[in-house]
Amino acid sequence: MKHVTNFPDLSQDPDGTLYDPGTRALMADFMATDATLRLEAAAAARAAHKAVERLRSQGSEGRGLSAGCVDVLLRLRAAGAAGTNLGDLARSAGMTPRNATGLVDTLEREGLVRRDPDPDDRRSVLARITPAGLEWLDAFREPTRRAMGALFHGFTDTELRQFRDLCLRLVRNQRGIAAYLAPTEGGTPA
């Protein structure tokens, strides 16, 4: 099987860190300011996300579940037999209730999740993972372990912790970006 990649050749800065020369040239031309490094970092984060998603989809062995569906299955597995209502599921996953409902619809059609009436609230339903959902996750575990081992090959535990920290700092900063971009009295962002 021939390995095919759409990712360009990388180069190294004098400090040994990797960069994509094509992205650097595009961003420098686009911004023509000191923001080029930030734009390069955003492009690298996007490329890394795509790499993780490609491996995730390979790990699901073509069974067609999105990352959102896998996340919902994992959360319902953690909820155990009690299950969880769709509002709590959406909040815990950081998604809209409509998105959570759509993912549960997909998983229910696949027989991996079921909905049951909530005995404490007749207006609500509980989503619960089915035995087939548990089996799906069990089958997904080993390909995922191998894929993540390959993706993060050569990273030390310290580097992985730093990488995790950097990614989550991006998430935290994104959550506060509205305040940063809000116009100030002078009419420009803070």
Q: Please, are residues 68 and 103 in contact by the beta-carbon 8 Å criterion?
A: yes
Q: Please, are residues 180 and 190 in contact by the beta-carbon 8 Å criterion?
A: yes
pLDDT at 190: 54
Query: Per-residue confidence of the chain (190 residues) as pLDDT tens digits?
Result: 344 455 567 888 888 877 777 767 776 666 666 677 788 788 888 888 888 877 766 655 556 788 889 899 999 999 999 999 999 999 999 899 999 999 999 999 999 999 999 888 888 899 999 999 999 999 888 888 888 888 889 999 999 999 888 888 888 888 788 777 777 666 656 5
Domain 67-137: give its CATH architecture.
Orthogonal Bundle (1.10)
pTM for the whole structure: 0.67
Domain boundaries, the chain: 1-59, 67-137, 152-182
Give the whole-angstrom CA distance, residue 72 versus residue 6: 30
pLDDT at 2: 40
pLDDT at 52: 80
pLDDT at 3: 43
Long-range contacts of residues 69-75, Cβ cutoff 8 Å, at least 24 apart: 69/103, 69/106, 69/107, 70/140, 72/100, 72/103, 72/104, 72/107, 72/113, 72/127, 73/107, 73/112, 73/113, 73/129, 73/133, 73/136, 73/137, 74/137
